[in-house]
Amino acid sequence: MRHISALFVSLALVLISIPTVLLAQTGGVGTELPMTVLPEHPRPGEAVEVSVESYNIDLNRAEVQWFVNDKLVKTGLGNKRLTVSAGRNGETTVVRVVAIAENGIIYSASATIRPAEVNLLWQAQSYTPPFYKGKALMPYQGTVLVAAIPSFTRGKSTMSPGSLIYTWSEGDNVIGDSSGKGRNLFVFRGSVPLRTKTISVLVESPDRTMSAEASINVTPVAPRLLFYENHPRYGLLISKALANSFTLSEDETRIDAVPYYFESDTKTGSALLYEWQMNYSPLTFETSPFLILRRASNAAGRTNIFLEVRDTDEQKTFQAAEGKLMIEFPQIGFEASPIQ
């Protein structure tokens, strides 16, 4: 009986030890290391931090070896992080880590980095005058078109934007209706409360071996109203806005109002309403974006011009602006009155 018991105990020890050896050699349950890659969707040439962490092994006491494309680049106790540079667009970089525990068990993990790139461009549908050098900004409750410009390369060929999968998000919300294959354009509208919109897109190849992401912040602005002199001989002097006051030195001149960032194709859009006042009295019949002023007498003095512009669309109640201008008469004297 003693021999039988001893033999049973020996067999039991062998059976218990066999699975451990198999796990260490085949990479079964318990040997895979959780790996983190940041950023998750790197751009070409971007620094990428790869790290490992596990509750199954004390990595601080383990021999950790890092390989990049099968080349040993770093080794030592507790080396849980490695920083590598992503390759060129579409170039594959394989990062592999091997950790040998104090008891000899081998843990491993690997990640494939294949960078791609996408850029976002946005355009607001708002009015700016001809030859304006700035960007048309998004007005309150305005509409914006966002275009994704991807660059996905495989070998010497560039993947067609129409073959890629686009997932659009507004803030933390995925916009499913705007996402899908080839959908590289996204349209959104500002809402109340008025706040910055964060728009992001994740672009993936059909086989998911390549991906890229990008995001932008679009901040709505209040529409603006500026006055310019439309000179009888020189035309609209768009290079210099009239600020605070204007000296009327001609027998007659025209003051043009330019409504910046209203959602309109032209400054005479049918939805825009112009309401002029002179010396705080409404000019009921003046509904154009300009006002003609002329000498009415030889008296000297000042005249206050006030204008409010607003969009009559009920969905654009915050698209409004106002401006005022003091008309100064020279010493020879005259008053300003609108031509009816």
**Closest residue by Cα to residue 88 from 113, 107, 60, 57:** 113
Q: Are strands 165-170 and 173-174 parallel, antiparallel or unpaired?
A: antiparallel
Show the CA angle centred on residue 231, arms to residues 228 and 234, nearest 5°.
115
pLDDT at site 334: 43
| Number of helices and strands in the chain (H, E) | 1, 27
What lies within 8 Å, CB to CB, of 239 at 6+ separation is none
Between the alpha carbon of residue 225 and those of residues 46, 105, 293, the distances in Å are: 44, 73, 19
pLDDT of 152 over the 80 cut: yes
At residue 248 the predicted structure's pLDDT band, cuts being 50, 70 and 90, is: confident
pLDDT of 201 over the 50 cut: yes
At residue 185 the predicted structure's pLDDT band, cuts being 50, 70 and 90, is: very high
pLDDT at site 293: 86
**Average pLDDT, stretch 151-172?**
94
Q: What is the tens place of the pLDDT at every residue in 87-113?
A: 999 999 999 999 999 999 999 999 999
DSSP category for residue 42: P
pLDDT at site 67: 97
